[in-house]
Amino acid sequence: MNIVDLLLKLDCGTLTIAPTKKVRIKRLSEMAGEDVYFTVKAIPGRRFTELSESIYGDDGEVEVGKAYDANLMIDVEGIVEPDLRNADLLKHYGCVTPKDLAEKLLNGGEITKISSVIADLSGYGKDKENEIKKLIYTDNEVNTAYLLFRDKNWTPSDYYGLPEGERRIVRVFLQQEMKERKDEQDRIRRMTNGK
């Protein structure tokens, strides 16, 4: 059976069901005297990328201080239970926003742990990281996005957000730049070896 036949057999409604997982919150469990679990879900890729990109400054460099807020917002988006938008919970803890409530309920390590679980559920875990690293060398699109990130301070969504025709032009421009760099390196090498 080919891939098209397999895909046609799938129930397309199940593709939109986000996977979930329960995460035990040790500190709250100890305080409550019983296990306290938060249920988290996967976040759609576009939204996860938007939240993750908030750690970059205007210069395109990672700002470590922004990682805390990025993880906190990933948690707010991905925590299903308890409902961080619940008016009674917000009022009880003296919070105005779900972000405030998450920050009050969770310490820094728990915020990071939960965002990591959400990343895994959303397809951005270690396996995905290793797969992307391999694609840098085997997939033209991923390689282009990587080079633009490395050399031009583009984010992946800067590249993938372009229409296909513009992405094709960017790939050609980047290939030309790489060829020119290689030619220049070869010229310098020949001059150095000729002395």
Structure confidence at residue 129 (pLDDT)? 64
Q: What is the CA radius of gyration of the chain?
A: 23
The whole-angstrom separation of Cα 20 and Cα 33 is: 25
Provide CB contacts within 8 A for 21, sequence distance 6+.
39, 40, 117, 121
Per the CB < 8 A criterion, the answer to whether 51 and 42 are in contact is no
Distance of CA 168 to the CA centre of its chain: 24
pLDDT at 195 over 60: no
Structure confidence at residue 72 (pLDDT)? 92
Once rounded to an integer, what is the mean pLDDT over residues 160-175?
Answer: 85
Given CATH 3.30.2220.30, say whether it is the number of domain 17-125.
yes
Structure confidence at residue 105 (pLDDT)? 95
